[in-house]
Each structure stands twice: as structure tokens, then as C-alpha cells.
Structure 1
Amino acid sequence: MRSLVLLIGIVGICLSTAFSLKMCAFNVQSFGEAKAKNKKVMGILTKIISRCDLSLIQEVRDSKGEAVPKLLKLLNRFDKSQMYSYLESKRLGRSTYKEQYVYDSRKDMLQVHEQVHYRELNQKESNDTEMFSREPFIIRIYSPKTLVKHLVIIGHHTSPKNALKEMDELFRVFQAVHEKWKTENMMLLGDLNADCGYVTIKGIKNLRLRNDPKFHWLITEEQDTTVREKIHCAYDRIIVHGNTLISGIVPGSAQPFNFKKEFLLSEQEALEVSDHYPVEVDLKPSHYHLRNEL
């Protein structure tokens, strides 16, 4: 009987891993023409992103628009049973320096109902969008295979010089999303530059996103999202809001993915891919509660 119970527990764990939905955010650091031409780098990127059901790729800097389609082509070749599609933002930035956000996702795992830039979402208070060097890119998704079916993803990459101000302004983004879609279930993820020299401990503690108990910071200051061995900073974060979404998170799944260690890369080899690690979190599958009852 003990063996049977143990077997059921092991099967439950395997099922949880197999059918949960992995959400990732990855600052690929100047992802453009040069990296797209580097076969080794693109091969590593393909392995990293293929682990995720939905990824927010940041710092896409490709005026020709060729790097992301090439990556998606490699992803679809890598695992032909899981086809990917993608959504891209406008090229964003106040100066000649422009970036794009890109969401890529497995077609069979979720559906994107709507996409919007914060400027379009918040037309009544358009001046608020000037707080951001690159305004957030927001999608509303339906995930039929997880406990949480409907949620909003807010992707953002702060300007290092104004990281604290932009993070504080993200509270207004949550309010605008709530007003438009009447949902509590929201996930904010991306490179917020939320540590070390860009923000102070006191500044972080005073943030509305930190003071309000409805927001849960899944990536903490103790975790390292940087590749360089001499740096230990939690720049990249995942923040969730809404009791349904919070209870739908697989415990302990929120963490950076150390691809340098996973793929046995030197620091220099890893830095050719990015100076950031992706951050990730898993959503519980729809049958999670039944398995726990066993």
C-alpha cells in the first residue's frame, strides 16, 4: 500500500511538471541582426525559450525585423509537435534608441484575446505614459489547460536611470488594466532594473506595488538574475496580483533559469547570449486540485 501511495505521488509530480504552463521573461540584450547571424547563440536561445509556453522577450533591437522570425523558425523546427506564434510591440523609445517587446507562445497552450500598448489603454491620462521610456506592452490571454483560465500579462523593461519612478508608475498601469478588463488576475514581468545601483532598498519598500498586500513579488532580492559572476542582482522580476492567480502558481516555481550552468557554458559564452538570466514561473494545471486530493 505504501508503494502504491508513493507511486501515485510520483505520478502526480510528473503530471504537474508535464501539464503546468511556464511563463518566462528574458532580456536578450540587444537582440538583433548580429545575434540572429550567430548560429551558436541562436541555438542556445532556442533551447532556452523552448522551455517556456509563453515568453516575453525584451530588448529586441532589429530595425529590419528579421531576428524574431528567424528565432520562431528555429523554435518550430526544434520541436515540431509544439508550434509557436508571436506578437510584437511597436518600436518604442523617446530618442533614436528603440526597442520592441515580443511575446512568443505555444499555439496549443493559450490564446491571446487582445493586445494593447499602455498609451492606447490609458488615453484619458495620456501624460502618464510619458513616465515610461518604453511604455508597457499588455496582453489578455485565455489558458484552457490551467486552473487560472483568464489573466492579463503586463510586460515592461524600465529605463535604468528612472527605474524607481517607472516601477511606481506601474501601479497606475494595474489600475488602468482593471478598469478596462475588470480582472484581478494580472502578472507583471520583465527587466525592472529593480536592484543594486538602480534603486535603493528604501525606495523599493516605499513602492505602492510593494506596500499593497494584494501584490506578490515572486522573484526576491535574494535571487540573482545576472550572468556575471561578480554581480548578484535581482534586476528581473515577476509580480502577481489577484487571489485566483496567486493560488494558481506552482509553489517554488518562480526562479531565474541559470542557462550558463544548465548548458555548461563559460561566462563569456553565456554573455554572448545575454547578461541576464530569464525569470520564470509555472501555472498549475486544471486538474491540480484533483491530484492533490489523491
Structure 2
Amino acid sequence: MELSCILSVLIFSMLYSQGAPFRICAFNTQRFAQGKVDKAHVMDTFVKILARCDIAVLQEVMDAKGKAIPALAAALNRFENGSDVYSYITSPLLGRSNYQERYVFMYRNKRTRVLDSYKYEDDHLERPDVFAREPFIVRFSLPNKALPELVLIPQHTMPSKAEAEIDALYDVFLNVQARWGTEDMIFLGDFNADCGYVAKKRWSNIRLCEKPGFHWLIGDKADTTVRENTRCAYDRIVVHGEQCLDAVVPGSAQPFDFPKEFGLSETEALEISDHYPVEVELYSACWGLQPASPVGLLFLATAMLSGTGYVI
């Protein structure tokens, strides 16, 4: 085979066997409201953080008047130099008292769309009214034929009730499974899953940890806090479903140290949030193909040049 033909095959493989990874982020935005929108330097950092994500799941959004999130979306789209690059879907205000929050999903229109959503009804017969802020569950499309849909389930627990709320996410799993008939889900958010809120001896009682099939991608030794004098794995990502797990890019689940990335002091970073975002990447394969590895491409080229390989 001629060299030009071989190069064409290799370029085709590199360009079309995979797209850019699909990044999903969860971020406790620490009382995000109009006050943060009004600070240009704060919004600039928020936009840089969110522009890294194809879907960003925001918690602790205290946008009672419904103006802060549209302003954030507009700033994000200006940063991306396009109109309506990102859209969003938001939960109603959630909470038992005057302290209420929203879950907000910012998502990149060209890579995903919302297929369905609902607020979990916290009325389990054995465990009623467990959640201070019930999960708002969204089903998204994905650019991967092996995993065309994925359900995202955010949770920001009340610290004093973290153990009970994390455990009750298993009831949410069963509810989603019955409603949509899917196994592929990601639970994500500020679970308050460390540093005194969940005792180590109590993890064996938490079904989301003990039941088979749940994979905790952010481990107990991670630090998801901005303050230098704390080291706590509050924020987590938990995957269920073999197709979903197979789609995870190995090693991609981690906190995003935005102060280090953007050269911020601790004081400057705390104007944004006292939490790091946590994130995970999924393979984004065209036509359902798995990513072509450099080793595989090299083997293909060697075989083709030597005349010993078979091209199908």
C-alpha cells in the first residue's frame, strides 16, 4: 500500500474514532446570587470554570428572584463568542424554611440536550421527608452510541443529616430505575461526605456505598475544599451502570483546583466558593467506536508498511 494511503487511514482513525471527551462537573457555588453576579472578577472566574464543562451541575444557587442564573448564562455565552452556546434547566427553590436553594444544570447545546426531568417526591413510606433539598433529576442525551443517554442526580445534603440523605439516594436510584428503566446514572454534588459529618464506622450502613454496582469515583482521600487549613472529601461523584462505567475516561474523576489553575490567592478564591468543582470525563465516540490508542495506530501503520497486516 502506498505511503499516502497509509497516512490517510491513520489521519482518518485519529480524527474520527473519537471526539473530545465529554466533561461533567458538579460545583457547590456557595450562595450564588445577584451579589456575585455584580462582581465582574467573580463572574469572570465562574465563567472560566463552567466553560470547561459540557454539563455543569450547580448547587447552593440562592437565586430567589431568578435573575442571577440568566446573567451567568449570558456571560458564559459571551465568553464562548456565540449565541445560546449554553442553555440551562433549573429546579424550583428547594428547602424547608427561608433557606432555599436551586439545582441548576448548565449544558452545551451542541453536545447534549435535555430529554426529561422531574423533582423527586420525598414521600417514601419508611423514610418520609429525608432530604432538606430533594434531588432534581435530569436525563440527558450523550454523543456516544454506546451510552446515548445518562441520568444525573445532584444532591447537596444538610451537613447534620448527611448520612441519612446519602443513604436515601438509594431510594432515589430505585425510583429513577422504575420510572425510566435505566441503569446508567451519576450521583454528584456536595454530599458533606467527610470530616465529621459521616463517621467512618457508619459507611457500612449507607446503601449507596454498600450495594453492588455503585462506583465512588472521588475517594475519601480527596480534598474538595478551597481553604488551606481543611482537607475534606465533601463533594463526590458516584456512577452506576456498566455502560456508564465503561464510558468513564480512567483517572479523569477529580477535584478541579481552580485557584491554582487561575493563579488566585485563597482570599480571592473564597469569593468564588469554598469548594472545588468535581468533574469526570466520558468517552465521546463517533459512530459508537472506542478511542483509537496511539499504540494501536502505530501497530496498524507498522503492519501496513510491512505488508503483513490485513485492512478491512
Scaled by the length of structure 1, the TM-score of the pair is 0.91
Residue-by-residue CA offset, 1:71-119 (whole Å, 9 max, x unaligned): 1001100012570000000100001111000001000111111110001
Matched with 1:113 is 115
Q: Distance in 2 between matches of 1:14 and 1:278?
A: 30
1:89–1:259 CA distance, 2 compared to 1 (3 A): same
How far off is 1:237 after superposition? 0.3
Residue-by-residue CA offset, 1:111-161 (whole Å, 9 max, x unaligned): 111110001xx77x4774510000001011111346421111101110111
Residue-by-residue CA offset, 1:210-259 (whole Å, 9 max, x unaligned): 11230000000111100001100010000000001000100000000000
Q: Distance in 1 between matches of 2:28 and 2:187?
A: 14
SS of the equivalent of 2:104 reads strand
Letter in 1 for 2:56: S
SS of the equivalent of 1:252 reads coil
Letter in 2 for 1:72: A
More helix per residue: 1
- Segments of 5+ residues of structure 1 without an aligned counterpart are none
- Segments of 5+ residues of structure 2 without an aligned counterpart are 298-312
Matched with 2:307 is none
Q: Distance in 2 between matches of 1:205 and 1:80?
A: 49
Alpha-carbon contact 1:20-1:146 (below 8 Å) kept: no
SS of the equivalent of 2:129 reads helix
Identity of aligned residues (%): 46
SS of the equivalent of 1:188 reads strand
Q: Distance in 1 between matches of 2:141 and 2:54?
A: 13
Matched with 1:98 is 100
1:67-78 to structure 2, matched below 5 A, reads: 67-78=68-79
How far off is 1:202 after superposition? 1.3
1:232–1:63 CA distance, 2 compared to 1 (3 A): same
Q: Distance in 2 between matches of 1:268 and 1:182?
A: 46
Q: Is 1:200–2:195 an aligned residue pair? A: no
How far off is 1:12 after superposition? 5.3
SS of the equivalent of 2:209 reads helix
SS of the equivalent of 1:289 reads coil
Alpha-carbon contact 2:223-2:232 (below 8 Å) kept: yes
Q: Distance in 1 between matches of 2:271 and 2:33?
A: 13
Alpha-carbon contact 2:17-2:285 (below 8 Å) kept: no
Q: Is 1:262–2:261 an aligned residue pair? A: yes
Q: Is 1:26–2:27 an aligned residue pair? A: yes
Q: Distance in 2 between matches of 1:231 and 1:13?
A: 43
Runs of 4+ aligned residues of structure 1 deviating over 2 Å after TM superposition are 11-16, 125-129, 144-147
Q: Distance in 2 between matches of 1:256 and 1:95?
A: 31
Matched with 2:290 is 289
1:231-270 to structure 2, matched below 5 A, reads: 231-270=230-269
Q: Among 80, 86, 95, which residue is 2:88 paired with? A: 86
Q: Distance in 1 between matches of 2:65 and 2:133?
A: 19
Q: Distance in 2 between matches of 1:52 and 1:109?
A: 11
Deviating more after overlay: 143-152 vs 274-283: 143-152
Q: Distance in 2 between matches of 1:222 and 1:15?
A: 35
SS of the equivalent of 1:27 reads strand
Alpha-carbon contact 1:158-1:191 (below 8 Å) kept: yes
Letter in 1 for 2:220: E
Scaled by the length of structure 2, the TM-score of the pair is 0.86
SS of the equivalent of 2:271 reads helix
Q: Distance in 2 between matches of 1:50 and 1:37?
A: 19
SS of the equivalent of 1:90 reads coil
1:223–1:115 CA distance, 2 compared to 1 (3 A): same
How far off is 1:13 after superposition? 11
Q: Distance in 2 between matches of 1:166 and 1:205?
A: 14
Q: Distance in 2 between matches of 1:237 and 1:14?
A: 32
Q: Distance in 2 between matches of 1:240 and 1:26?
A: 17
How far off is 1:204 after superposition? 2.1
1:128-207 to structure 2, matched below 5 A, reads: 128=127, 130-145=129-144, 147-207=146-206
SS of the equivalent of 1:19 reads coil
Q: Distance in 1 between matches of 2:236 and 2:68?
A: 25
Residue-by-residue CA offset, 1:10-54 (whole Å, 9 max, x unaligned): x959986x6111000000000001111111100000000000000
1:147–1:165 CA distance, 2 compared to 1 (3 A): same
Q: Distance in 2 between matches of 1:14 and 1:27?
A: 35
* Matched pairs, number: 285
Q: Distance in 1 between matches of 2:72 and 2:16?
A: 29
1:228–1:285 CA distance, 2 compared to 1 (3 A): same
